[in-house]
Amino acid sequence: MSISLNEEVTPIEPDAALILDHLPGLVWTTDETGTISYCNSRFGEYAGIDFGLSHPSHWARVLHPDDAVFAVQYGQNARRTKRRRVINARLRRKDGEFRWFELAGSPLADDGRICWLATERRESANDRTQEDIEGGFRRFLNSLSLSALLISPGLELEFANQAALRWYGFLPESSAQEASADREPRKLDEILLPLKAYMEGEQTPVFSYQAQHADGTLRWLEAQVVPVIEKSGELTNYCVLQNDVQDSRDAAYLLGKEMEMLDMVARGTPSASVLQKLCNVVEDLIPDLFCCFLELSLDRKFFRMGAAPRLPSEFREIFDQKSVASDKNACSFAALTKKAVEIQNLLESDYRHTSMGQFMLANRLNYCHAIPILSPYGNTAGIFAILRHQYTELKPRERQIVDRAAHIAGISIDRTRHEEALVKRETQFKRSQAQLVAAQRISSTGSFTSDVQRDENIWSEEFYRIFDLDPEVEPSIDAVRERIHPEDLELFDVEMQRGLAGEGSDFVFRIIRTDASVRFIRGLAKVTHYIGDHPVFMGTVQDITETKRAEDAIRRSEEALLKAREELAYVSRAMTISALTTSIAHEVSQPLSGILANANACVRLLALDPPDIASAADTARRTIRDTMRATEVVKRLRAMFKRQSPTMEDIDLNEIAREVIALSARDMRERSIVLESRLASGLPSVRGDRIQLQQVILNLVLNGIEAMAEIEGWPRRLLVLTSREEDMLTLSIVDAGVGIAADSAERLFEPFFTTKRNGMGIGLSVSRSIIENHGGHMWATPNDGPGTTVAFSIPRSPPLAQSV
């Protein structure tokens, strides 16, 4: 057995060493760090340590780990307290077995040295039980997940269970057996103050206090003190059971803040204030963090600064009112892609070239996490960015805080966006409302919505004005009814009945305003939807009095024009026919003289003896024939002269052309005009007035005849042509007369244009208006050879015929 000493330690006298070796206990000394500076041979033997060969060793290595802390703590406190102390602890025998010893520690000097004397506890049955009880109790405490400390009435720490050692950081998981100089049992001092207060009756057995956790942070613990009393009634220890309540405190704090902020959102606090507060909370709870919120404009094209209370103001300039796409930084990228962007080391990232990157570098911020804030509809409403000087992984609790903050920001921003959209829509609505009112005013149109069955109505401002009703009047059908002209009341009621049956209506009625003026109103209504089975109408009322008056005036002048035109047509017809007088006289006088001659012959033949009956009958028949012929001519003339309003009928164009030709054939013969008619076969009928159309044809024929009156040198030839092109039938009169200049073709149709000495110049103008009234048109063209072609086209009978 050798005794070895550390070089730094003063050697012990050999005699003294011998004496110490013979003591029935283990003796050793430790320095202020707990390193063994001397030990007797019994200690070396028991622990199996050859201090001569080994390195200086910390005495805690021979302690049972459960007993280490308070023993070490005593060592550290001894210098200060200079108190002798007796501790029960287990020491490891060289074969690894722990045995209970009573350790008496005595501070040697001010330098922190302690002399330890350990005597093994006697193996009496009583002691054994006592040790078992103590060991069992400590084992029980070790099995708890709560931190448990045993503290003596003298406020010395006797024991700390595994959970406490872990919490305080005395027990790194991997080297639970390793006694280390890093241990700072002094950390446990924080409990002593409240415990002392408890002992003095100034504190309840349950209290909260803050202590330093293994990670260096201060955390809240909830402690409960239980006095440990032995069978003998002696109070041996205080057992302090403690629970780390920091997380639940944080959660409660966060929940409180969350409620506070949701309340702000609900009260309509502007998102900027809510976001500012959120930043403060997050920055409070997570150390070394810079928060910022960016909002997106309604069209998501621009950033708007939300809040960034801890960042310099240049940050605002980078984003506020700036296009999302302009600077391709982390926030822009997150906004455009809806994906979070994390930059752990800005210096190694391309993002450092962006203006946000430059800002971060200038402020020594090397870490950024841009998280898109999504609206409930999945659109990006903003960005939550957290910046740090360097990358530190967020703890689960911190991640939860960040997620909650992003969530609340989402609600707040979403609300602001909705309000903004609402205001925008309201403004638009007000503007269009104002426009509608103006438009109704300008067009004298009022609008209404009406549930006729329930007599529930909404009237526009202009509606009130048109009906000359006080804007205070409650809308009702009766209020309108009171204004209706008595003669139109029946009509109005019929239309209301139609309304009740769910039909739309469009009708004109009169109202009498308070100044007794009568106004014409056009009412238009359509069923737009149903409430239950009630049809709801929307409609308009338009004051059409002015329009109606103008229309009446137009109608009256049109009637006057029509009358004038008819007069003119009559005159023109009379003149046309007077031009045929000779011919007509001849037509009539010829059968008359025939009748006379035949009647005379008949008388003579009957006067013969015997009378020549057969010849007389023959002459009588010729008389009848001539009479009929004359009657026919007179009838035709009378028809032509008759002044009657137009009657529309289906007419064979060829047939009326033939009748006109027949009427003027003799005239032509006398003027040596060769008539040629090329009437197309199978023509459909035209719809029109027979007399009017005959007048037109006769007019053209006579003009042709007159145009050829004086020509010499080429044959006088008049061609009457009919043809069809699709639904239009054309009649052309081609003469070989004096012709017209190409540029005066239109002048012929001007009223009172004439080149004839006795001409009136109304024939063609009247003819054209007749044709146009039949839905057709009329024109004149110079022929390639001599003469003119004057023609008209009119549509065939229905389906395409037009009424005059």
Nearest of 729, 735, 736, 723 to residue 775 by alpha carbon: 729
Residue 756 Cβ vs ligand ADP, minimum distance, rounded to whole Å: 5
**Beta bridge partner(s), residue 447:** 540
DSSP string, 696-741: HHHHHHHHHHHHTTT--SS--EEEEEEEEETTEEEEEEE--SS---
The nearer residue to ligand ADP, 484 or 748, going by C-beta atoms, is 748
CB of 599 to ligand ADP, least distance (A): 41
Burial of 293 (0-12, 13-18, 19+ CB in 10 A): buried
Q: Residue 21: CB partners within 8 Å, gap ≥ 6?
A: 1, 3, 40, 41, 42
- Collapse the DSSP code of 742 into the 3-class scheme (helix H, G, I; strand E, B; otherwise coil) and give the result: helix
- Min dist CB 716 to ligand ADP, Å, is 12
Beta-strand ranges (E) seen in 152-205 are 157-160
Is the Cβ of residue 356 or residue 705 nearer to ligand ADP in the bound state?
Answer: 705
Q: C-alpha distances in angstroms, 615 versus 293, 376, 543, 573, 623?
A: 131, 119, 83, 43, 12
Provide, rounded to whole angstroms, the least separation between the CB of residue 506 and ligand ADP: 45
Tokens, residue 346: 């800005």
Helix (H, G, I), strand (E, B) or coil at 693: helix
Give, for 294, the enclosing helix (H) or strand (E): strand 290-296
- Complex with ligand ADP: residue 535 or 763, whichever CB lies closer: 763
Integer angstrom CA distances of residue 316 from 12, 313, 322, 356: 75, 5, 10, 10
Cβ atoms within 10 Å of 237's Cβ, excluding its own? 20
> Closest distance between ligand ADP and the C-beta of residue 795, in Å?
24
Closest CA relative to residue 577, chosen from 751, 749, 699, 700: 699
Q: Which of 304, 241, 313, 249 is nearest to 275 (CA)?
A: 304
Geometric angle at alpha carbon 88, from 82 and 89, rounded to 5°:
105
> Whole-angstrom Cα distance, residue 580 to residue 67?
153
Residue 764 Cβ vs ligand ADP, minimum distance, rounded to whole Å: 4
The residue number whose beta carbon is nearest to ligand ADP equals: 763
Minimum separation from the CB atom of position 436 to ligand ADP (A):
56
Least distance to ligand ADP, CB of residue 740, Å: 5
**Residues 6 or more apart from 30 whose CB is under 8 A from it?**
36, 37, 59, 75, 113, 114, 116
Smallest distance, Å, CB 653 to ligand ADP? 20
414 or 735: CB nearest ligand ADP: 735
Closer to ligand ADP by Cβ: residue 372 or 704: 704
Q: Between 214 and 738, name the residue whose CB sits nearer to ligand ADP.
A: 738
CB 561, min distance to ligand ADP, A = 18
The residue among 541 and 740 lying less far from ligand ADP, judged by its C-beta, is 740
| 3-state secondary structure labels for all residues of 749-787 | HCCCCCCCCCCCCCHHHHHHHHHHHCCCEEEEEECCCCC
CB of 701 to ligand ADP, least distance (A): 10
**CB-wise, 246 or 754, nearer to ligand ADP?**
754
Strands 290-296 and 380-388: antiparallel
* Residue with smaller CB distance to ligand ADP, 188 or 661: 661
Q: Which is nearer to ligand ADP, 25 or 763 (CB)?
A: 763
Quick one: 542 or 703, whose CB is closer to ligand ADP?
703
Q: 335 or 701: whose CB is closer to ligand ADP?
A: 701
For binding to ligand ADP (CB under 6 A), which residues are involved?
699, 703-704, 707, 735, 737-738, 740, 748, 753-756, 759-765, 788, 790
Could you say which DSSP state residue 617 is in?
Answer: H
Least separation, in Å, of the C-beta of 747 and ligand ADP?
A: 8
User: What is the enclosing helix (H) or strand (E) of 118?
Assistant: strand 114-120
Pairwise CA distance, residues 485 & 714, whole Å:
74
DSSP line for 354-414: SHHHHHHHHTT--EEEEEEEEPTTS-EEEEEEEEESS--PPPHHHHHHHHHHHHHHHHHHH
Pairing of strands 505-512, 114-120: unpaired
Closer Cβ to ligand ADP, 275 or 577, answer by number: 577
Q: Which amino acid is at 130?
A: Q
Q: Supply the minimum distance, in Å, between the C-beta of residue 762 and ligand ADP.
A: 6
- Our CB check for ligand ADP shows the closer of 365 and 696 to be 696
- How far is it, in rounded angstroms, from Cα 291 to Cα 293? 7
CB of residue 793 vs ligand ADP: minimum separation in angstroms?
18
For the bound state, the minimum distance from the C-beta of residue 435 to ligand ADP, rounded and expressed in Å, comes to 55
CB of 742 to ligand ADP, least distance (A): 12
Nearer to ligand ADP by Cβ, of 148 and 708: the residue is: 708
Alpha-carbon dihedral angle through residues 240, 243, 246, 250, given to the nearest 10 degrees: -130
Q: At what angle do helices 653-670 and 581-607 cross, to 10 degrees?
A: 80
Residue among 130 and 754 whose Cβ is closer to ligand ADP: 754
Q: Locate tokens 């000359």: which residue?
A: 468
Shortest distance (Å) from residue 681 CB to ligand ADP: 26
Min dist CB 788 to ligand ADP, Å, is 4
Longest dimension (CA), the chain: 218
Number of H helices, E strands in the chain: 21, 27
Helix (H) or strand (E) holding 540: strand 534-543
Whichever of 544 and 738 has its CB closer to ligand ADP, that residue is 738
Give strand ranges (E) for 174-249. 206-212, 218-229, 235-244
- Name which of 73 and 695 has its Cβ closer to ligand ADP: 695
- Rounded Cα distance between 492 and 510, Å, is 10
Strands 717-725 and 674-679, bridge-based pairing: parallel
Question: What is the spatial distance between Cα 463 and Cα 471, in angstroms, rounded to a whole number?
Answer: 10
